[in-house]
Structure 1
Amino acid sequence: MAGETTGRLIGHFQNIAEEQHGTGWSELWDNGESDLWDRGIPSPALTDIVAERRDLLSPVDANGVRKKALVPGCGKGHDAIMLALHGFDAWGLEISETAVSTAERYASEQMQSPSPENFARAEVGSGIEPGSVRFIQGDFFEQDWKVNLLGEAVKFDLIYDYTFLCALHPNMRCMWAKRMAELLKPGGLLICLEFPLWKDLKSPGPPWGLQGVYWDLLARGGDGLIEDGQGERPFPAMEHVQFVCELNHKPARSFKQGRGEDLLSLWRRL
């Protein structure tokens, strides 16, 4: 089944130009094919770290103001909803209007009666008053949705990436890293559930293989195009590096699609 899903995605995008990939994802939503990537629950790895590392991931700042979280390519909204239930004011961003409508309906149910999967195993609820969750249609790389949503100056405290970078053509990876740095406030956190790490970097996508790609993009300031080997690229001047890695480990729980190789990395915006 996994192979059929991957083959369907690769085939769908095979003859679509890079600049039209957003339209390609919208078509899949409109055709009712979101089951190709929807996991049905929030990310267990993210749920666990939010519950267990409140020293790093407090939902409020020193003044008691709720922190703002963003989930680009949020799909049905599982992760944005979970973050809201743990006290963040969360936004989910999707390229598709159909996706936004779907997420809004799902959120209205979950915020009233959350599924147990929204909490870590040791939790009975989060013990924190929920924040808000909202969904917006827009292109991650454009400015209009963010200006309309928060204003030009406001930035996010937290961004979560899972199955978003791997959905983008490799030529867009450098743009992804630059945009993440633009959207995060200094000191803000980018959490990445790195997937797929089992897939050959030269194999077609989506999903595109990402072994070593996050490190190249965020720690080294590279372009993420490392098919010829990670060790051959020169380390950039530090002024080009906008993130520092604070955590990188294999999570105790993750989705079966990761084949036991998923890594959870946490990056602080300099």
Structure 2
Amino acid sequence: MAYLDENYWSQRYLSGNTGWDIGYPSFPLVQYLDQIVNKQVEILIPGAGNGLEVAYAFQNGFKNIHLLDFSLPPLEGFKMKFPSFPESHIHHEDFFLHNHQYDIILEQTFFCALDPSSRIEYVNKMYDLLKPGGKLVGVLFNQYFEKAGPPFGGEKEEYQSLFSEKFEEVKITPCYNSIPERQGAELFIQIQKSKT
């Protein structure tokens, strides 16, 4: 599938065709990060692209934040902008092949970039990448799109069923602090892996 190909995404970055990149850290993720007291937690943002939320977290004291993308151009750009960011926390690889465990994984326009046929695999991989008691937190689209994706949309009931197959605690609510262009079109997810 061409849209899952590394070259496809790299060309999108190189040509500036990055409509998902709003140019600043996403409000829902910023406000969530601002509530975290323990800044030692290990956090992953997969499909982070230009890493705007990663930069925000790092500049606000989170030293165990990791970004992952399988497109190299945005990662190279991130390194140039933030030379003090630890290189070992920048992962140029396929999310589904990544191996580590995190306290928190932040979801921001990654899920919607994957073909819906990958969603069960996404849920299983998220489960594996979270430590016991770890959380997957972020935003998902609460709409379907007329054009062929990406992005690929969905709705609350579908997501609830999907994540409940693996996770015991699945909280999905309307996102009240979306950016203006996405008002009413996003859901905020807080999905926790059991502690045992």
TM-score normalised to structure 1 length = 0.63
Do structure 1's residue 160 and structure 2's residue 106 form an aligned pair?
Answer: yes
Total equivalences in the alignment: 192
Instruction: Choose the corresponding residue for 1:101, options 65, 76, 84.
Output: 76
Q: Which residue identity lines up with residue 99 of structure 1 in the other structure?
A: P
Tell me how far apart the structure 2 counterparts of residues 208 and 264 of structure 1 sit (CA, whole Å). Answer: 16
Would you say the 8 A contact 1:243–1:269 is kept in 2? yes
Which is higher, the Rg of structure 1 or of structure 2?
A: 1
The residue that corresponds to 1:80 in the other structure is: 54
Do structure 1's residue 27 and structure 2's residue 11 form an aligned pair?
Answer: yes
Would you say the 8 A contact 1:249–1:264 is kept in 2? yes
Tell me how far apart the structure 1 counterparts of residues 175 and 119 of structure 2 sit (CA, whole Å). Answer: 24
The residue that corresponds to 2:193 in the other structure is: 269
Do structure 1's residue 58 and structure 2's residue 37 form an aligned pair?
Answer: yes
Q: Which runs of 5+ in 2 are unaligned?
A: none
Tell me how far apart the structure 2 counterparts of residues 43 and 156 of structure 1 sit (CA, whole Å). Answer: 21
Do structure 1's residue 209 and structure 2's residue 158 form an aligned pair?
Answer: no
CA distance 1:173–1:189, shift in 2 (3 Å): same
% of aligned pairs identical? Answer: 24
Q: Which residue identity lines up with residue 76 of structure 1 in the other structure?
A: N
CA distance 1:22–1:172, shift in 2 (3 Å): farther
Would you say the 8 A contact 1:69–1:83 is kept in 2? no
Tell me how far apart the structure 1 counterparts of residues 92 and 179 of structure 2 sit (CA, whole Å). Answer: 26
1:206-256 deviation per Cα after TM superposition (whole angstroms, max 9, x unaligned): 10112134322212x1xxxxxxxxxxxxxxxxxxx23412x4333432123
TM-score normalised to structure 2 length = 0.85
- Let me know the Cα RMSD of the aligned residues: 2.6
Tell me how far apart the structure 2 counterparts of residues 28 and 69 of structure 1 sit (CA, whole Å). Answer: 26
Q: CA deviation at 1:133?
A: 9.0
1:23-45 deviation per Cα after TM superposition (whole angstroms, max 9, x unaligned): 3112222x332533211111101
Would you say the 8 A contact 1:84–1:133 is kept in 2? no
Q: CA deviation at 1:100?
A: 0.7
Would you say the 8 A contact 1:107–1:133 is kept in 2? no
CA distance 1:262–1:132, shift in 2 (3 Å): farther
Q: CA deviation at 1:171?
A: 0.6
The within-5 A match list for 1:191-210 is: 191-195=137-141, 197-200=142-145, 204-210=148-154
The residue that corresponds to 1:224 in the other structure is: none
Q: CA deviation at 1:20?
A: 5.0
Residue 190 of structure 2 aligns to a residue whose secondary structure is strand
The residue that corresponds to 1:225 in the other structure is: none
Tell me how far apart the structure 2 counterparts of residues 204 and 69 of structure 1 sit (CA, whole Å). Answer: 31
The residue that corresponds to 2:97 in the other structure is: 142
Q: Which runs of 5+ in 1 are unaligned?
A: 1-16, 61-65, 112-130, 147-153, 222-240
Tell me how far apart the structure 2 counterparts of residues 254 and 106 of structure 1 sit (CA, whole Å). Answer: 26
Tell me how far apart the structure 2 counterparts of residues 59 and 104 of structure 1 sit (CA, whole Å). Answer: 25
Residue 18 of structure 2 aligns to a residue whose secondary structure is helix
Single out whichever of 33-42 and 88-97 deviates more from structure 2.
Answer: 33-42
Q: Which residue identity lines up with residue 93 of structure 1 in the other structure?
A: L
Q: CA deviation at 1:92?
A: 0.6
The residue that corresponds to 1:189 in the other structure is: 135
